[in-house]
Amino acid sequence: MAGGSGVRRSISILGSTGSIGVNTLDVIAQLGGTDAFDLVALTGNSNVELLARQAREFGARIAVTADEENYTALKEALAGTGIEAAAGRQALVEAASADAGWVMAAIVGTAGLAPTLAAAARGADIALANKECLVSAGDLFVHAVKEGGGRLIPVDSEHSAIFQSLEDDQHHAVERIVLTASGGPFRTWSREQMADVTVEIAKAHPNWSMGLKISIGSASMFNKALEMIEAKHLFDLNPEQIEVIVHPQSIIHSMVGYTDGSVLAQLGAPDMRTAIGYALTYPDRPKLNVERLDFVKLARLDFEAPDEVRFPALRLARTALARGGVQGAVMNAAEEVAFDAFCAGRIGFLAMADIAEEVMEAMAPHPAATIIEDVFEADAEARRRAAEIIARKEMAA
């Protein structure tokens, strides 16, 4: 574990300026900061000022912005510190390749795939928040981790809960996993009500404070769709073993059901630092300053069946799981493009799932990806098709 032994653990954070990245640095500060950890690389995108501040505070060796246009600003912000500044997609991969033993993968979207793969391939332990790696390139990504020899530790709260509830050597006795979903801000809304919502309304999550993409994904339940595919690859499950249940309080983070009828769960306050801390010190548990559950105050936990008619993303995930191959990459890429269009006010909230479905249908069936370029190709084609559909919708409007 960090601290105590006198050996500082080397770590990197891909996406340090985001919601998960900031929480990761908070956990690191709680567990001894620079006394316990040797920060190798931090990466961000547009928020150069925050990236530079983090790099200075935690004494990082390298700071990388994904956007080449921000290079000069980053370099200036780091002048005189001795911290190396770099920019661009290749620089991200190089930062991930630098020799940190533990890497937090917290870039949002498929932009995180190439750097995270690079870290996995060289055998780093991967703390995975960037679920899109598994959605887009599941088998190849898992294979890269195995070949590299590092560990893959989930950070997504549901998957961390499952990871914590899985008993050693009992994989054969796992009957099902139950992913909990808060249901998001539109849990009780009709499709008619959802049709006209703005980004401002959709991003207001009832329980969790998160990045924009995942907040909107919680409102559409597209995030849960990604998590179903993520679970399949992380835990080597059949699609029928993956259940989703709506649990509005977000206290039970997910569960594992066994052949003897037992169900093991992990509970906690909705605070990502618990899952991040677990991934950082696994198999030890760190001492964290996070809220403790007060069961009397909670009083009750509720459960509802998910509604695949109001939230079609769940149905799309089932389709992608059944079809396999690069359907996950296709679904995710199409939705990333549709998400950008929704945020830009070009399409309505419900159109996001429609577009993902139309692209999935147009590109089905799909062969398995044998090399990573197959994934990138499917991703690019799905983006192209989604953009066409959006342009067509705009023309018609």
**Beta carbon of residue 169, minimum distance to ligand NAD (angstroms, whole number):** 28
16 versus 281: smaller Cβ distance to ligand NAD: 16
DSSP 81: S
Return the one option of ligand NAD, Mg ion, none that residue 116 interacts with (CB less than 5 to 8 A, by type).
none
**Beta carbon of residue 110, minimum distance to ligand NAD (angstroms, whole number):** 9
Which three-class secondary structure string do you get for 299-343?
CCCCCECCCCCCCCHHHHHHHHHHHCCCHHHHHHHHHHHHHHHHH
Rounded Cα–Cα distance for residues 50 and 13 (Å): 14
Residue 327 binds to ligand NAD (criterion: CB under 6 A): no
Cβ count within 10 A of residue 69 = 11
Residue 379 binds to Mg ion (criterion: CB under 5 A): no
Residue 70 binds to ligand NAD (criterion: CB under 6 A): no
Three-class DSSP category at 31: coil
**Beta carbon of residue 208, minimum distance to Mg ion (angstroms, whole number):** 8
Among 207, 208, 243, 288, binds ligand NAD (CB under 6 A): 208
Residue 130 binds to ligand NAD (criterion: CB under 6 A): yes
Rounded Cα–Cα distance for residues 300 and 389 (Å): 45
Q: Kindly give the pairing relationship between strand 84-87 and strand 62-65.
A: parallel
Would you give the binding string for ligand NAD spanning residues 240-279, x where CB under 6 A is met? --------------------------------x-------
Residue 44 binds to ligand NAD (criterion: CB under 6 A): yes
Residue 230 binds to Mg ion (criterion: CB under 5 A): no
Residue 156 binds to Mg ion (criterion: CB under 5 A): yes
**Beta carbon of residue 7, minimum distance to ligand NAD (angstroms, whole number):** 28
Rounded Cα–Cα distance for residues 366 and 143 (Å): 20
Rounded Cα–Cα distance for residues 355 and 344 (Å): 15
Return the one option of ligand NAD, Mg ion, none that residue 18 interacts with (CB less than 5 to 8 A, by type).
ligand NAD
Identify whether the C-beta of residue 162 lies closer than 8 Å to the C-beta of residue 171: no
Count of residues that interact with ligand NAD, criterion CB under 6 A: 27
In DSSP notation, 252-300 reads EEEEEEETTS-EEEEE--S-HHHHHHHHHHTTS------PPP-HHHH--
59 versus 88: smaller Cβ distance to ligand NAD: 88
Which positions lie near Mg ion, rule CB under 5 A? 156-158
* Contact residues for ligand NAD, defined by CB under 6 A: 15-21, 44-45, 66, 92, 106-108, 111, 129-132, 156, 208, 210-214, 272
